[in-house]
């Protein structure tokens, strides 16, 4: 199981599929919000590790605090995450890659294009997150409220017990964003259990603010920058409060080299054509 060690002590897990000497590699930045990890790709309508590894190396990674990358300092920033992503490419000797992001992965993708444009050949964005007229920042911050309420009402022992019962933050908000680490690391579990509830609440609220900053509509880049985005983008729209269709449409309207597929592009009847669209897009920009 390959890892890279980061200067701040974080251990970032990654995996590869496909030929090392194929076409331009494809870096995957998974959906899952705080739990952006490789496994989410295997459960979605499109599994890039299976669909695109015949022609190119596909690189999956667990973002810090997610999957097997749980052993990281408790703070988060998109700058730290970008450093992790580029370090994975560096470890593999990849100078330039396509990047496919899902959900929060699109926010990571746009930040990478902004801050490291020479490393990105093109981007595929699936279900981009964002804020529009159908939701608000609270839509995203609400996932942190249950663990805060539990810590205040019942103390840290209750948070730890909830995390051990179900360590998947996306299905059990009570256990909090560090539930995976609580599950696998007894020392950290004891540290969380001994933490004052007020300190835990402050930590969780800082983390929520870092993942979902008050910077609409895209969280990680501004509208003015997007209007000059240099990378070709292929966008697969979402259709729920976290992934509003209008956010995908807005990206495609503002970014000069972006194209949107239809919102039903992953319906069973449309999926084969969508997969071929993505393959053709990657080939065209390799």
CATH of the domain at 266: 3.40.50.1820
CB within 8 Å of 258: residues ≥ 6 apart? 229, 232, 233, 234, 235, 251, 252
CB 37 within 8 A of CB 62: yes
Q: Do 153 and 118 belong together in one domain?
A: no
Query: pLDDT of the chain along its 286 residues, tens only?
Result: 799 999 999 999 999 999 999 999 999 999 999 999 999 999 999 999 999 999 999 999 999 999 999 988 999 999 999 999 999 999 999 999 999 999 999 999 999 999 999 999 999 999 999 999 999 999 999 999 999 999 999 999 999 999 999 999 989 999 999 999 999 999 999 999 999 999 999 999 999 999 999 999 999 999 999 999 999 999 999 999 999 999 999 999 999 999 999 999 999 999 999 999 999 999 999 9
Q: Dihedral of CA 267/270/271/275: which sign?
A: negative
Domain boundary among 193, 211, 229: 211
Give residue 130's pLDDT: 98
Rounded Cα gap, residues 93 and 106, in angstroms: 23
Give dist(CA 164, CA 172) in Å, integer.
Answer: 10
pLDDT at 104: 98
Distance, in Å, from the CA atom of 280 to the CA atom of 263, rounded to the nearest integer, reads: 19
- Rg of the chain on CA atoms, in Å: 19
Same domain membership, residue 233 and residue 109: yes
Give pTM, 2 decimals: 0.96
Helix (H, G, I), strand (E, B) or coil at 253: helix
Clarify whether residues 115 and 23 are in a common domain.
yes
Do 69 and 162 belong together in one domain? no
> Quick check: 125 and 235 in contact, CB under 8 A?
yes
User: What is the per-residue pLDDT for 229?
Assistant: 98
**Residue 240 DSSP label:** B
My answer on whether 161 and 142 are in the same domain is yes
Give residue 86's domain range: 3-132+217-284
Complete DSSP assignment for 116-147 = -GGGEEEEEEES-----TT--HHHHHGGGHHH
Angle of helix 156-165 versus helix 186-194 axis, rounded to 10: 150
Cα 263 from Cα 239, distance rounded (Å): 7
Q: How far is the CA of 29 from the CAs of 66, 105, 185, 246, in angstroms?
A: 12, 5, 25, 22
Which of 168, 189, 211 terminates a domain? The answer is: 211
Domain count, the chain: 2
For residues 250 and 132, the answer to whether their CB atoms sit within 8 Å is yes
- Give yes or no: residues 116 and 253 share one domain: yes
């Amino acid at each position: 199981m390959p890892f890279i060690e980061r200067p701040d002590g974080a251990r970032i897990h990654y995996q590869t599929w496909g030929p090392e000497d194929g076409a331009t590699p494809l870096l995957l930045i998974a959906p899952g919000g705080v739990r952006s990890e490789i496994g989410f790709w295997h459960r979605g309508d499109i599994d890039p590790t299976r669909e695109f590894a015949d022609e190119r190396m596909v690189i999956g990674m667990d973002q810090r605090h997610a999957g097997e990358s749980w052993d990281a300092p408790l703070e988060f920033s998109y700058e730290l995450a970008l450093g992790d992503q580029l370090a994975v490419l560096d470890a593999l000797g990849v100078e330039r890659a396509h990047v496919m992001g899902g959900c929060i992965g699109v926010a990571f993708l746009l930040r990478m294009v902004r801050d490291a444009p020479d490393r990105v050949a093109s981007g595929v964005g699936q279900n981009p997150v964002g804020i529009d007229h159908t939701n608000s920042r609270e839509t995203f911050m609400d996932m942190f409220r249950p663990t805060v309420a539990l810590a205040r009402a019942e103390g840290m022992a209750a948070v730890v017990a909830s995390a051990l019962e179900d360590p998947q933050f996306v299905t059990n908000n009570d256990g909090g964003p560090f539930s995976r680490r609580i599950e696998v690391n007894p020392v950290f579990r004891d540290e969380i259990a001994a933490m004052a509830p007020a300190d835990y609440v402050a930590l969780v609220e800082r983390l929520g603010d870092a993942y979902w900053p008050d910077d609409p509509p895209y969280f990680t880049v501004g509208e003015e920058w997007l209007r000059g985005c240099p990378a070709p983008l292929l966008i697969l729209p979402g259709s729920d409060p976290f992934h509003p269709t209008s956010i995908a449409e807005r990206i495609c309207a503002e970014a000069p080299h972006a194209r949107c597929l239809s919102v039903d592009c992953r319906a069973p009847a449309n999926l084969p054509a969508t997969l071929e669209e993505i393959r053709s897009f990657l080939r065209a920009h390799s």
